[in-house]
């Protein structure tokens, strides 16, 4: 049940946010089926990691969690994205993210 998973994740994120003056906005595609078959624990962990990292580096403004779907022959893929008004990643560190990815 994706709605239940998202609700649990948001409750954890609100605790992590504490007294920071940030808004957590959730946008979920309403056409995503209510019951999905997949690894709920991994999906939950991925969303928690993305949200907590965004909250950690955002002191004011907002964090937006967006969940959409891409339909495939075998079912759907969930697309999870985070946008925030945090400090971002320095150019130097962005380059480090991609070291070794290009042959």
pLDDT digits (tens, 9 = 90+) for 23-45: 999 999 999 998 888 899 999 99
Global confidence as pTM:
0.82
Give the tens place of pLDDT for each residue, 60-96.
999 999 999 999 998 899 999 999 998 887 888 777 7
Q: What is the dihedral of CA 28, 30, 32, 34, to 10 degrees?
A: 100
Q: What is d(CA 80, CA 43) in angstroms, rounded to the nearest whole number?
A: 9
For residues 35 and 18, what is the distance between their CA atoms, to the nearest angstrom? 31
Closest CA to 64 of 78, 77, 50: 50
């Amino acid at each position: 049940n994706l709605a239940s998973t998202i609700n649990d994740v948001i409750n954890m994120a609100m605790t992590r946010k504490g007294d920071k003056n940030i808004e957590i906005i959730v946008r979920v595609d309403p056409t995503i089926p209510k019951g999905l078959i997949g690894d709920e624990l991994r999906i939950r962990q991925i969303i928690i990691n993305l949200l907590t990292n965004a909250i950690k580096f955002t002191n004011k403004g907002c964090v937006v969690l967006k969940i959409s779907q891409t339909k495939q022959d075998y079912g759907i893929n969930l697309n999870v994205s985070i946008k925030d008004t945090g400090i971002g990643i320095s150019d130097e560190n962005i380059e480090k993210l991609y070291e070794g990815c290009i042959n």
